Amino acid sequence: MENCLFCKIIKGEIPSSKVYEDDEMLIFKDIAPQAKIHYLLVLKEHFANICEMTESQAIILARCLKKLSGMVDELGLQNGFRLVSNKGADACQSVEHLHIHILGGEKLSEKMA
């Protein structure tokens, strides 16, 4: 997508603090972290949110989350982490390219919102 911020990051047109990349996903540091560790897991294929996701994209997302589960030590998340994916106005989604927030590195609040 031409004007999508995360597509530009994926293509390397906008710099990011990349921590992992493969053919299907990119994980990079959020520019405005909301926890000691705050990464974004972004699928390389563009779609806006979980409601726009096809069956085959859902399978890719599941595979990427499984890969993430094998990387927790190297990402500094061995004590736990929280995954969040905002969809739409009520959730304040600001980038219309599916992404999973990965929050951790400290004790997070019990209240999620």
Catalytic positions, written as ranges? 99
Closer residue to ligand AMP (CB): 5 or 72: 5
Binding flag, residue 21, ligand AMP (CB under 6 A): no
Angstrom distance (rounded) from CA 16 to CA 14: 7
Contact between 51 and 87 under an 8 Å Cβ cutoff? The reply is yes
DSSP 8-state assignment for residue 92: T
Residues 69-88 contacting ligand AMP, CB under 6 A: 86
Binding flag, residue 92, ligand AMP (CB under 6 A): yes
Binding flag, residue 37, ligand AMP (CB under 6 A): no
The encoded tokens of residue 31 equal: 């520019």
Which are the contacts of 30, defined by CB distance < 8 A and separation ≥ 6?
Answer: 38, 39, 40, 101
| Least separation in angstroms between CB 67 and ligand AMP | 20
Enumerate binding residues for ligand AMP (CB under 6 A): 5, 14, 16, 30-32, 40, 86, 92-95
